[in-house]
Chain A
Amino acid sequence: AYSSAKPISTEEKDKAVLAKKYLQRFYGMPAGLQRPGKSSDLMQQKIREMQEFFKLEVTGKLDDKTVELMEMARCGVPDVAE
């Protein structure tokens, strides 16, 4: 059957992997598998938390500015006190 689904570009995949690691390490996002749907909601919520902390525009999306900040050299202590 014809499908318009496209494989995710590697760049997108890299971004998602970077974000996941970042949010697990600094924003207390649980590691490991989640129910489909739940994990993307959770990820969006954690992205929002990170954007709020850094006073970025809170979109819940991995926009350029958010990814750029995730790539900056930084301290290894989480931003949300656990």
Chain B
Amino acid sequence: YNHFPRDLKWKTTNVTFRILNYTPDLKKKVVDRAVRKALNVWSKVTPLRFTKTFDGTADIMISFGTKEHGDFNPFDGPEGLLAHAYPPGIGIGGDTHFDEDETWTEDYHAFNLFLVAAHEFGHALGMAHSSDPGSLMYPVYSYAKGFPLSEDDIEGIQSLYGENPDHEKFKPKPIAPEKCDPELSFDAITELRGETIIFKDRFYWRLHPNMPEPEQTLIKNTWPEIPNKVDAAYENPERDVVIIFSGIKMWALNGYTLVDGYPKYIHKLGLPKTVRKIDAAVNIRDTGKTLLFVDEEYWSFDEQTGTMDTGYPRSIEDDFPGIGDEVDAAAYHYGYLNLYHEHTQFEYSYSARKVVRIMRANSILNC
């Protein structure tokens, strides 16, 4: 998180706000509700209290305008700039302006007024932009459900105003994982048309052969239909689909689009009902088999016949000596199975039937 220079903030925790005009995109009461909800995001985690006024000058003056709208800081028509706000202070300080050339909504279409307002009120209270892509104070718009503040946002605003003395329970969004954190473990790994996708928490890293820097993105920004948490994933190159597992459900992605008819239950693969989660999955391209790791055991699914091979489950420890008994994520490249557990990656040679190399899990992220 960042603050403005000199940690600009309001000298009192009682802040007034006034809505000067309304967007025709939404009913007046919907705008009122979105503004109040957006202010409550910040009062939930601090002693800040917001009072609505209907005349005179409030600390936070809220208005909708297009292009040059009076502060010599013009908007730019549809898209691009959505809104801006000024840091705490007298006069224009705290004022928040929305670009009326945008389409304002109360759901995931176009631009959600509540989310943009919550971000701008962060500025009006003293927060500058954060470079954490999972933070509300990240400069680029993205739609997300649930409580919008991440731990990064909360740390920032509480370092200005302190905690909320009578706080209620809320679930802040976790900070985006750091790729070179030595303790980093992965949720899942899969190939996707020549790229490598690594899932961790609400994010994924995308590795592309000619893109040396892995790119971190929110899962929901690319695949809004799948959950925020992926347990396992693998690519079936013959069918050009990636199968995503989360809990007892699975999704099939054809590139970036969801295949019709999904999600389905994982038990359709032939797994027993007792299995409630798949830890890791990997397609062995040379045999056409997909290995599904669950706790200390693994199954082998024949992609050709669409059935589970007989004689499974088998013990991971017995069949892959040296890697321990649990797997978080798995990938297969040219005869080598990379099995990830916690912050370690084991490279298992099929031909030699043994672990030939042990590395940090995030060495794959150039760390």
Interface, chain A (partner B; CB < 8 A): 26, 53-57, 65, 69, 72-79, 81-82
Contact = CB atoms under 8 A, between A and B. Distances in A.
A78 B123 CA distance: 11
Given A72-B141, A74-B81, A74-B139, A81 B131 contact: no
A56 B216 CA distance: 9
B83 interface: yes
Nearest to A79: B129
Given A74-B141, A76-B83, A77-B129, A56 B2 contact: no
B82 A74 contact: yes
Contacts, number: 65
B3 to A, nearest CB: 7
Nearest to B84: A76
B208 to A, nearest CB: 10
B141 A77 contact: no
Contacts of B123: 75, 77
Interface of B: 2-5, 73, 75, 79-85, 99, 111, 116, 119-120, 123, 128-129, 131, 133, 139-141, 211-213, 215-216
A26 B84 CA distance: 12
B83 A75 contact: yes
Contacts of B212: 57
A71 B55 CA distance: 38
Given A57-B211, A74-B139, A75-B82, 18 more contacts: A26-B139, A53-B129, A55-B133, A55-B213, A56-B213, A65-B211, A73-B82, A73-B140, A74-B81, A74-B82, A75-B129, A76-B73, A76-B83, A76-B84, A77-B120, A77-B128, A79-B128, A81-B2
Contacts of B216: 55
A81 B4 contact: yes
A44 to B, nearest CB: 17
A73 B211 CA distance: 24
A76 B82 contact: yes
Contact of A57 (B79, B83, B116, B213): B213
Nearest to B132: A55
A10 B213 CA distance: 28
B140 A77 contact: no
A56 B141 CA distance: 17
A31 B85 CA distance: 22
B46 to A, nearest CB: 20
25 contacts: A54-B131, A56-B215, A57-B211, A57-B213, A65-B211, A65-B215, A72-B140, A72-B141, A73-B79, A73-B140, A73-B141, A74-B80, A74-B81, A74-B82, A74-B139, A74-B140, A75-B84, A75-B116, A75-B119, A75-B139, A75-B141, A77-B120, A77-B123, A79-B129, A79-B139
Contacts of A77: 84-85, 120, 123, 128-129, 139
A53 B111 CA distance: 24
A55 B2 CA distance: 15
Contacts of A82: 5
A72 B216 CA distance: 16
Contacts of A75: 81-84, 116, 119-120, 123, 129, 139, 141
Contacts of B111: 73
Contacts of B2: 81
A41 B360 CA distance: 38
A77 B85 CA distance: 7
Quick one: which of A26, A56, A77 has the most chain B CB within 10 A?
A77
Contacts of A55: 131, 133, 213, 216
A15 to B, nearest CB: 15
Contacts of A53: 129, 131
Nearest to A18: B80
A75 B81 CA distance: 6
Given A56-B213, A69-B140, A76 B75 contact: yes
Contacts of B141: 72-75
Contacts of B79: 73
Contacts of A81: 2-5, 128
A72 B139 CA distance: 10
